[in-house]
Amino acid sequence: MKNDFIAAISQLCSERGISRDVVIQAIEAALISAYKRNFGPGQNIVARIDQDTGEARVFAQKQVVGEVQDSRLEISLVEANKVLPEAKVGDIVEFEMTPKDFGRIAAQTAKQVVTQRLREAEREVVYAEYTDREGDIVTGVVQRIEPRAVVLELGSKVEAILSWRSRRYSMVLSS
């Protein structure tokens, strides 16, 4: 299954033209959101995905302190030394909190976060492609004519909207 997960990430990257790091970061953010939704928002949570195996792990980070005020964010030096003998006050200690089963609501939250992040990444790719072409002439195919605009297809994922303003056309890109 792990290799299928990595293969799916690679396929997603190639189909959408998004870097692998952006997809991994989106999935990690989704895992954090799902964890917090399932187990409460009061902790410092970090998610990591091994890019070779596809293994996802969730960690709670706690700061080592002399006297614990908030057990969700802090750990005493004595307790920290049991886990990490070289820990000292001010260090951050991580505890693996990877749940066995997230549940349906957490999975839906993760899906929404990943979808949103991927859309943002796609918009950034399109913007980066066309931002330095301002003032250039580009060709497109008219898709439809609306009362106040003409919609053109510039590529597989890019539409341009030519709006009628003071007898001149100006172009607004959308994806």
pLDDT values of the chain reduced to their tens digit, one per residue, 175 residues:
456 777 878 887 887 778 888 888 888 888 888 888 777 777 888 988 887 877 888 888 898 888 888 888 888 888 888 888 888 888 888 888 877 776 666 667 777 888 888 888 888 888 888 888 878 888 889 999 888 888 888 876 788 888 776 355 555 555 5
Structural domain boundaries in the chain: 2-130, 133-174
- What integer pLDDT is reported at residue 116 of this predicted model? 85
- What integer pLDDT is reported at residue 2 of this predicted model? 56
Q: In angstroms, rounded to a whole number, what is the distance separating the alpha carbons of residues 38 and 132?
A: 44
> Phi/psi of residue 47, each to 5°?
-115, 145
- What integer pLDDT is reported at residue 166 of this predicted model? 39
- What integer pLDDT is reported at residue 172 of this predicted model? 55
- What integer pLDDT is reported at residue 104 of this predicted model? 65
Q: What is the 3-state secondary structure (H, E, C) of the chain?
A: CHHHHHHHHHHHHHHHCCCHHHHHHHHHHHHHHHHHHHHCCCCEEEEEECCCCCCEEEEEEEEEECCCCCCCCEEEHHHHHHHCCCCCCCCEEEEECCCCCCCHHHHHHHHHHHHHHHHHHHHHHHHHHHHCCCCCCCCCEEEEEECCEEEEECCCCCEEEEEEECCEEEEEEEC
Put simply, whether the predicted model's pTM sits higher than 0.75 gets the answer no
Contact (CB, 8 A) for 34 and 110? yes
Contacts by 114-119, CB closer than 8 A, 24 or more apart: 114/26, 114/27, 114/30, 117/22, 117/25, 117/26, 117/29, 117/30, 118/12, 118/16, 118/18, 118/23, 118/26
Fold topology of 2-130: N Utilization Substance Protein A; Chain:P; domain 4 (3.30.1480)
